[in-house]
Amino acid sequence: MARASPHPEHHRISPVFLGVLVVMALSGWVVWTGRAEITGVGVFLFVLSGWIVSLCLHEYAHARSALSAGDTSVGAKGYLTLNPLRYTHAGLSVLLPVLFVVLGGIGLPGGAVYVERGRISRRWRQSLVSAAGPLTNVLLAILLTAPFWLDAMADVPFAFRYALAFLAMLQVTAAVLNALPVPGLDGYGALEPWLSPRLRRRFEPYAPFGLLLVFACLWIPAVNTVFWETVGTVLEWLRVPGADVDFGYEYFRFWNGEPVVDAVDAVDAVDTVGR
């Protein structure tokens, strides 16, 4: 068990993270109250800030698991403060995933918590450190979709419901992509401790390009189809209608104009959730 850090500032929640939480809360209130003139902007800010929060929690889960496993260096690196600016590659962990959400509506995983694996003796602990991030996305997806699978959507404003559905979809895409056993992603990180030293040395040079490889593969129609069918299946398990995700994405891209949601669309979505 890791000893308590003698530096409490290493564990203090960053004002930057708290600021993002405030933006998420305020924009969520705007969407919930249905201020028609700024609903699209509200959805954009709510989803974007919620996505940044989830990215921070993803990286925090890696760091906290590493600390529990024996790597006390994560505290001095600032990983336990939830400050996205303290990650070694803030661009990979925050900026790039945010850009892909804005441009393509996909929750691309990041990754910039550097763990000193030499401090972690057991292989299963090393695997758990890598798995902690995607498992966080899975947990967030379950929490965000709770109103859907608990049949508690009757009194939820439509725009807020669509925003929740879209944000949950981002968590699912991030979890699915990050679980792939591709060098540089968490799926491979969980598998790596069990590989022979020869195989690890062979795959190591490809780690910096793993994320780009996955992104490139998504341009292949067959791969893209399988990926989105997988995401859609998971969302069906969570009882999230695909139409809700689509409307959420349209609201998110407020610069294209807000979607027109007629009564038939709204009733169909409610009926789908209630089945």
Q: What is the pTM of this model?
A: 0.89
Domain for residue 249, yes or no? yes
Which residue has 């699915």 as its token pair?
Answer: 176
Domain for residue 4, yes or no? no
Burial 54-87 (b: 16+ CB within 10 A, else e): bbbbbbbbbbbbbbebbbbebbebbbbbbbbebb
What distance in Å separates the CA atoms of residue 112 and residue 83, rounded to the nearest whole number? 12
What distance in Å separates the CA atoms of residue 152 and residue 178, rounded to the nearest whole number? 30
Q: Where in the sequence is the domain holding 194, given as residue range(s)?
A: 15-103+119-269
Q: Is the pLDDT of residue 143 over 60?
A: yes
117 backbone φψ class: left, alpha, beta (φ>0; ψ -120 to 50) = alpha
Q: Is the pLDDT of residue 28 over 70?
A: yes
Domain for residue 217, yes or no? yes
Question: And the tokens for 72?
Answer: 């006390």
| Model pLDDT, residue 93 | 60
Domain for residue 41, yes or no? yes
Q: Could you tell me the end-to-end alpha-carbon distance of the chain, in angstroms, rounded to an integer?
A: 47
Q: Which residues contact 140 (CB under 8 A, 6 or more apart)?
A: 54, 57, 168, 171
Q: Where are the alpha helices (DSSP H) in 13-90?
A: 15-33, 39-69, 73-76, 90
Q: Is the pLDDT of residue 175 over 90?
A: yes
**Is 258 an active-site residue?**
no
Q: What is the pLDDT of residues 179-219, one digit of tens each?
A: 999 998 999 999 999 999 999 999 999 988 888 899 899 99
Domain for residue 215, yes or no? yes
| Model pLDDT, residue 88 | 59
Please pick, among 9, 37, 59, 236, the residue that the annotation labels catalytic.
Answer: 59
Burial 245-262 (b: 16+ CB within 10 A, else e): bbbbbbbbbbeeebbebe
What distance in Å separates the CA atoms of residue 119 and residue 253, rounded to the nearest whole number? 45
Average pLDDT over every residue of 164-178:
96
Q: What is the pLDDT of residues 93-138, one digit of tens each?
A: 667 777 888 878 888 766 677 888 889 989 999 999 999 999 999 9
| Model pLDDT, residue 2 | 47
**Helix (H) or strand (E) run with residue 149 in it:** helix 146-149
Number of domains in the chain: 1
What distance in Å separates the CA atoms of residue 90 and residue 207, rounded to the nearest whole number? 17
| Model pLDDT, residue 117 | 86
Average pLDDT over every residue of 6-29:
87
Which range has the worst mean pLDDT, 27-31, 34-38, 53-57, 210-214? 34-38
Domain for residue 24, yes or no? yes
**Residue 89 gets which letter from DSSP?**
T
Classify burial at 8, counting beta carbons within 10 Å of its beta carbon; exposed 0-12, middle 13-18, buried 19 or more.
exposed
Percent of the chain with pLDDT over 90: 62
